[in-house]
Amino acid sequence: MDNPKQHQQRVALITGAASGIGLQIAHDLAEQGAMVCIVDRNGPAAEAAAQAITAAGGRAQAFVFDLADAQALAAGMDALLARVGQVDILVNNAGIVSTTPARDVTLAQWNTTLAVNVTAPMLLTQRVLPAMQAQRWGRIVNVSSISGVRAGTGRLAYGSSKAALIAMTGQFAIEVAAQGVTVNAIAPGFVDTPMLRSLHGSSKASTYQDVCPMQRFCSPQEVSAAVLFFCSEAAAFITGQTLGVDGGYLAS
Ligand code: NAD
């Protein structure tokens, strides 16, 4: 049984933590004792998230920068590491989605989607790995998607990016496994967050529920629980894996 405050001595960085799934993960890791770095481009929402966690007795700081911009990311990480020292847990959660039909996806859409969903996780992972390897403990969790495993209409850029994130998970995992650092991925199904609502509003809710064997949306809490498992001591021997949190979608 893991200690409920098992991350007391640790710093966790969660991208996209001002909203939806990332916000839930930030709250849950703070509850387990971690000092949480909320990285997001939405400054007011990131500050509000940090304040809410602090008000609940946790420790959190907001860091506002655009993950699509590699220079801003590097400068943002300089500032973050100067403030907190090092990162012990990295959750690459931020992501963007679009629904453009495959033949109409522009180069700009493609590049931006890959920048946020693939390149930023790669750069952040490279940045935090040396300290994790030196201390022989680290946890990296990448939030991919069922779209990275199964094709869906209008998901050319998004699905390709999420598949790349799954491949990247394995690539990093095998190179750092011997130093006690695990790298795993989550592939959520349809999660009730602002992203899902921005895609289809509530009008298509029944469609999603029909294709999910559990016939309901996933909650941010259910995704966060899987992320927390990968961060725990119980998962110390699990690396390079992708866990579907999808109510049976990929099995159907
Ligand atoms: P969300 O839109 O509610 O939150 C995403 C957060 O990321 C926002 O706070 C946003 O400001 C931030 N963000 C986006 N682009 C950024 C950038 N360039 N720089 C910094 N911050 C940026 O989304 P969500 O539903 O919570 O999704 C979180 C992750 O889960 C994403 O990677 C998404 O692809 C994945 N996912 C979501 C679902 C779903 O149904 N909601 C399903 C599968 C996977």
**Beta pairing partners, 242:** 185
pLDDT in tens, 121-152: 999 999 999 999 999 999 999 999 999 999 99
pLDDT digits (tens, 9 = 90+) for 50-65: 999 999 999 999 999 9
- 6 inside domain: no
Atom of ligand 1 nearest to the CA of 190: 40
pLDDT at 205 > cutoff 80: no
Expressed as residue numbers, the domain containing 69 is: 11-245
Question: Nearest-CA neighbor of 61 among 40, 88, 35?
Answer: 35
Considering the entire predicted model, what is its pTM?
0.97
Q: Count structural domains, the chain.
A: 1
Instruction: Quote the pLDDT of residue 207.
Output: 65
In a domain, residue 4? The reply is no
CATH of the domain at 222: 3.40.50.720
Closest CA to 139 of 230, 223, 73, 202: 230
CA of 12 to the centre of ligand 1 (A): 17
**What strands lie across the sheet with 89-92, from one edge to the other?**
59-64, 35-40, 11-15, 89-92, 138-143, 181-188, 242-245
**pLDDT, mean over the chain:** 95
Q: Is the CB of 26 under 6 A from ligand 1?
A: no
Please classify residue 114 by burial: count the beta carbons closer than 10 Å to its beta carbon, then call 0-12 exposed, 13-18 middle and 19+ buried: middle
- 211-247 pLDDT, tens digit per residue, is 899 999 999 999 999 999 999 999 999 999 999 999 9
Most informative mutation of 19, 147, 200, 250 for ligand 1 (most atoms within 8 A of CB): 19
Q: Please indicate, yes or no, if residue 97 is contained in any of the structural domains.
A: yes
249 is catalytic: no
Model confidence at 24: pLDDT above 80: yes
Q: Which of 28, 58, 77, 158 is catalytic?
A: 158
CA nearest 213: which of 179, 240, 252? Answer: 252
